A and B are shown apart, each in its own frame.
Chain A
Amino acid sequence: MLQAIDLVKRYGPVLALDGFSLSVAAGEIVGLVGHNGAGKTTFVEIVSYLIRQDGGHVTIDGRPPSASRGRVGVAPQHIALYPSVTVREHLTLFGKLAGLRRAALDSAIEELTVALRLGAFIDRRTAALSGGQQRRVQAATALIHRPGLLLLDEPTAGADLETREAMLDVVKQRAGDGAAIVYTTHYLPELVELQATIAVARNGRIIARGTYDELVDGLPGEVRLIHDNEEEVRVSTTQPAATLIDLLGRAERPISTIEVHNPSLDDLYRSLAVSDAP
């Protein structure tokens, strides 16, 4: 569905993309992760045809982004809504721009109102909504026409639990319907829940790609126990669960605190940064 090969993009002296390659199949969710400045948003903007790449090429269903306008649903990182326009009016505008008419438009609005839990504020102006509610509205405007390719750039940034749950449910459903989805985030657990393929961007290129298990396999987590006499035990381990059971079995004093840290996104970055170093 989406093929990006060797993309290069410069902003003056800054090389934002440096041989960025990524493919996403229909029905696949690719979680694009990376620190700020890794090139995620630049990639999304190129695929959306908002900016042009300086090198490499992109195709969406075999066509360039310029010929794919309207076939892509984009929810940008920043909130981009009309403050004095209601949620329903937003959905109507973006639905009509995508060519939806009467019954199809009403049905699409109804479906997203339920799926993204917009009902309580559907007729309120977006300026009066919370950040999480605005996130959901923004996602709804990207989803309204059921595009074949969805680009969701940090759709849950700063969002509350309800927004996150609703968003993940809808993304899973759309992938199940056959949409190719690029989902950028800083939260690995979301990608685990989405069962996404994870692509790690660093310095303008993809440096690793795989499932969560494949990428974190072998990375150490940590088990931390504190006994009632405040004696602390910390163990770095690649098998936190087994290590915890073992420690509990051998504990001779009551335990007041148990903490288990699975490998985090930062652990993953660090391990990749080390392996990526010259």
Chain B
Amino acid sequence: MLLDTGYRPGPAAALRESLYRIRALANNNTLIRLRDPGQTISYVVMPMVLMLVLKPLYVRAVEGGTTKVVTGLLVMFSVFAISIAGNAILAERTWKTWDRLRVSRAPAAELLIGKTLPIYVVMVAQQTILLVYGCLVIGLPIPGNVPLVLGAILLWAFTLLAIGALLAAIVRSHGELSVITDVGALTLSSLGGALVPLSLMPEWAQVAAQASPGYWALEMLQAAVSGDAAGVVRPAAILLGIALVCGVFAIRRLTRGWGRGGLL
């Protein structure tokens, strides 16, 4: 007996079925993440070590050094985490599993949500852990406006996810992705003031910093940590714009699939 009856559910049932499929996809991607956690762990542990080592330097060099060392390294290693998103999406292409999913009943939007949701959770968790560590171990004052900080983390993670998806959609191999994310992340985050306080950098670098998402993330997070809601608005808007542009392009590309034009 064939189970495929061509049954079409009503709107409420369709929503339940959609959520059911998204949960199945998210579970599968969570399994994959949990079985290969090395990269995620290193992007949490490395900044913890660096925060401890660099804190005395920051405190002596700039005002508000503790905040700057915590937010700076948080931003830097969250930018590195773009490679987690990129590799996870690119792996579907390497394994040729993305086309298997595209043939299923799940439409493109469900596939993308199911794929990116666990990665998003990982990114948010990474930043939250580093911020909590910053408060408990490094001496960052506990933020007065926790929802504002959480909102900033959620937005920054969304931006990183969109950039990672975009990269995964356009690069042709894990090697290419690795070059772009490692060199790009280091350049963008340090140029944005994540490694060395911006005030200590050359003038040209301070001007160029504004082209870096890392710069705006740093602005947003430092404002959020200090409870400055007004200071969050401008960088948040810019990051949201970057996220939307990257996200829309990535969605268009991933929805269409790589076909035979992809080199993998």
Q: Which residues of A contact B (CB under 8 A)?
A: 11, 48-51, 61, 69-72, 74, 76, 78-85, 89, 92-94, 96-101, 104, 108, 141, 145-148, 177-179
Contact = CB atoms under 8 A, between A and B. Distances in A.
Interface size range on B against A: 20 to 34
Contacts of A84: 31-32, 35-36
Interface string B89-115: 000000111011111111100000000
Contacts of B31: 84-85, 89
A71 B99 contact: no
Contact of B24 (A48, A83, A96, A148): A96
Q: List 10 tightest A-B contacts by C-beta distance, closest first.
A: A70-B105, A96-B24, A80-B96, A146-B3, A97-B104, A84-B35, A146-B2, A148-B4, A74-B103, A93-B28
Contacts of A74: 100, 103
Contacts of B6: 61, 71
A84 to B, nearest CB: 4
Interface string B11-52: 000000100110111011001100110000000000000000
A80 B3 CA distance: 24
B20 A96 contact: yes
A48 B259 CA distance: 12
Contacts of A147: 2, 4
Contacts of A81: 95, 97
B119 to A, nearest CB: 15
A82 B97 contact: yes
13 contacts: A48-B99, A48-B103, A74-B103, A79-B96, A80-B100, A96-B21, A97-B101, A97-B104, A97-B105, A99-B21, A99-B105, A146-B4, A177-B2
Contact of B257 (A50, A70, A79, A82): A50
Contact of B20 (A50, A99, A145, A178): A99
